[in-house]
């Protein structure tokens, strides 16, 4: 159900030291690192990941995994019909990243994403 969690941090070095140590106890490992963030995942071919990113105006967002692009479209429509606010209509954001972004009624940033190739 959860595709990924995006957590905003102030110090990537401190975050890397802490999460590399504790996530290793659960089989987690660093799979990608850049100047703006760190990506951790458990297992070799596990679904889902945690992305630690240098701070943004909001503390985090989480993404729900969809199986089809039409599920992402439906998620968007139902979110708007039930009090959500548009924060990015369904669209490809890369070759295999079809997603929509919503602000829920409590102000949380949520996303639905399907990892399919553009047709």
Q: What is the CATH number of the domain that holds 24?
A: 3.10.180.10
Same domain, 73 and 111: yes
- Residue 27's region, left for phi above 0, alpha for psi from -120 to 50, else beta, is left
pLDDT of residue 45: 64
- Region 4-27: what's the mean pLDDT? 91
Distance in angstroms (rounded) separating the CA atoms of residues 83 and 53: 28
Per the structure, the complete domain to which residue 25 belongs is given by 1-54
pLDDT in tens, 45-100: 677 899 999 987 788 899 999 999 999 999 999 999 999 999 999 999 999 999 99
92/113 same-domain check: yes
């Amino acid at each position: 159900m959860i595709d990924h969690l995006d957590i905003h941090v102030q110090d990537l070095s401190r975050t890397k030291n802490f999460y590399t140590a504790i996530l290793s106890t659960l089989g987690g490992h660093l799979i990608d690192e850049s100047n703006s963030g760190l990506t951790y995942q458990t297992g070799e071919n596990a679904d889902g990941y945690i992305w630690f990113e240098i701070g943004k105006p909001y503390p985090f967002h989480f993404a729900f995994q969809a199986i089809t692009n039409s599920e992402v479209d439906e998620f968007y429509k139902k979110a708007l019909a039930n009090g959500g606010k548009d924060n990015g209509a369904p669209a490809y954001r890369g070759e295999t990243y079809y997603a929509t972004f919503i602000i829920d009624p409590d102000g949380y940033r949520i996303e639905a994403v399907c990892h399919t190739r553009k047709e």
